[in-house]
Amino acid sequence: MSALLSMSGVTAGYAADIDILRNLSLSIEPARITGLIGLNGAGKSTLIKAICGFLRPGTGSIHYDGADITGIAPHTLIDRGIWYIPQESSLFPYMSVADNLRLPLERLARTTAGVEIDARFEEMLRHFPAIRAKLHDQAGDLSGGQQKMVEFAKAYLVRPRLCLIDEPSIGLAPKIALEVYQWIELFSGQGMAILLVDHNVRRVVQMSEYIYVMSLGEITAEGKRADFEGDLHEQVRSWLGVNF
Categorize the per-residue pLDDT at 85 as very low, low, confident or very high, splitting at 50, 70 and 90: very high
CA torsion through residues 215, 218, 220, 224, sign: positive
Q: What is residue 152's predicted lDDT score, i.e. its pLDDT?
A: 97
Compute the distance between CA of residue 222 and CA of residue 231 in angstroms, rounded to an integer: 16
What average pLDDT does the chain have? Answer: 90
Same domain as 28, residue 115: no
Is the pTM here over 0.95, yes or no? no
Domain boundary (159, 189, 218) is at 159
Of 130, 159, 188, the one marking the end of a domain is 159
204 and 113 in a common domain: no
| Residue 187 DSSP class | H
Strands 59-64 and 5-12: antiparallel
Is 110 in the same domain as 180? no
What count of residues does the chain have? Answer: 244
Beta strands 218-224 and 67-68: pairing type? unpaired
Q: pLDDT value at position 231? A: 65
- Report the share of the chain in percent with pLDDT over 70: 91
Name the band, by pLDDT with cuts 50, 70 and 90, for residue 244.
Answer: very low
pLDDT category at 45 given cuts 50, 70, 90 is very high
Lowest-confidence region among 3-7, 13-17, 122-126, 148-152: 13-17
- Give yes or no: residues 138 and 194 share one domain: no
Residues 111, 186, single domain; the answer is no
149 with 229, same domain: the answer is no
- Spell out the residues 6+ positions from residue 208 whose beta carbon is closer than 8 angstroms to its own: 33, 34, 35, 196, 225
Bigger pLDDT: 118 or 54?
Answer: 54
pLDDT at 34 over 90: yes
The separation between the first and the last C-alpha atoms of the chain, rounded to the nearest angstrom, is 37
Answer for the pair 95, 88: CB distance below 8 angstroms, yes or no. Answer: no
Is residue 222 located within the same domain as residue 243? yes
pLDDT at 210: 96
Domain coverage including residue 212: 1-81+160-244
Is 69 in the same domain as 187? yes
CA 59 to chain centre: 23
Task: Report the domain count for the chain.
Answer: 2
Domain match, 183 and 204 both: yes
Q: Is the pLDDT of residue 16 over 90?
A: no
Question: 165 and 152, same structural domain?
Answer: no
Report how far apart, in Å, the C-alpha atoms of 11 and of each of 36, 57, 107, 143, 202 are: 17, 6, 33, 37, 28
Rounded to 5 degrees, what are φ and ψ at 105? -70, -40
Whether residue 84 contacts residue 53, with contact meaning beta carbons closer than 8 Å, is answered with no
Same domain, 188 and 203: yes
Grade residue 232 by pLDDT with cuts at 50, 70 and 90. Answer: low
Does 239 score more than 70 pLDDT? no
Q: Could you say which of 141, 159, 177 is where a domain stops?
A: 159
